[in-house]
Homo-oligomer: A and B are copies of this chain.
Amino acid sequence: MCRFLAWVGAERYLDELVMNQEQSLVEQSRNALIGKTSINADGFGLAWYSNRVEPCFYKDTNPAWSDANLRQLAHHTQSGLFLAHVRASTGTATSRNNCHPFGYGRWSFMHNGQAGGHERIRQKLDSMIPPHLYQHRFGATESEAIFLIAHGEGLEVDPIGAMLRAVERVEALSRTQRALPYMRFAACWSDGKRLFAARYASDSYAPSLHYRNSEFGIIVSSEPLDANQDSWTEIPANTAIESDGNDVVVHPFLPSAPPCQVSAA
Which chain A residues have a beta carbon within 8 Å of chain B's beta carbons? Answer: 30, 39, 41-42, 50-52, 56-63, 66, 68-69, 72-73, 75-78, 89, 93-97, 119-120, 122-123, 126-127, 129, 131, 134-135, 137-138, 140
Contact = CB atoms under 8 A, between A and B. Distances in A.
Given A39-B39, A135-B122, A94 B66 contact: yes
Total copies of the chain: 4
A39 B66 CA distance: 12
Nearest to A122: B134
Those 8 A-B pairs whose CB atoms lie nearest each other, nearest first: A56-B76, A123-B134, A66-B94, A57-B72, A119-B135, A56-B72, A126-B126, A58-B69
Given A56-B72, A75-B56, A123 B123 contact: no
Nearest to A127: B127
Given A56-B76, A61-B66, 18 more contacts: A30-B39, A41-B63, A41-B66, A52-B75, A57-B72, A60-B69, A62-B62, A68-B93, A68-B96, A69-B69, A73-B73, A95-B95, A95-B97, A97-B140, A123-B126, A123-B129, A126-B127, A137-B140
